Amino acid sequence: MKKSDFISLLSAELENYNEIDVSLSAELIQKVIIESLKQRNRVEIRGFGSFCVRDRKSIRARNPKSGESIELPKRSIPYFRASKLLKQRVN
């Protein structure tokens, strides 16, 4: 499902709100989650799951094309963990 499909589905469910309002709300929610993760805060949505940032250490890798060894710097990645309730509803 794409973001536009998600917004169309939500606006069909929420008949009192037009698609522009739903779109702005979805954008705002996404923005707040991103800003919280940038500040290294954990975001938990009860019944859905939690978002956090995990650090990956630097590693030595190899360029498959040239065979040259390169150093990849340490980096941070977003991580999502589904709640128990979400897992039960999917299965």
Q: Does pLDDT of 15 surpass 90?
A: no
Helices (H) and strands (E) in the chain, counts: 3, 5
pTM, two decimals, is: 0.77
Range list of β-strands (E), 1-91: 43-45, 49-56, 59-62, 69-72, 75-82
DSSP 73: P
Q: Does pLDDT of 67 surpass 90?
A: no
Average pLDDT over residues 14-39: 93
Q: What is the pLDDT of residue 33?
A: 95
For 38, list phi and psi in degrees, rounded to 5.
-60, -35
The helix or strand, by DSSP H or E, that contains position 90, with its residue range, turns out to be helix 84-90
Alpha carbons 53 and 51: distance in angstroms, whole number = 7
Mean pLDDT of the chain: 93
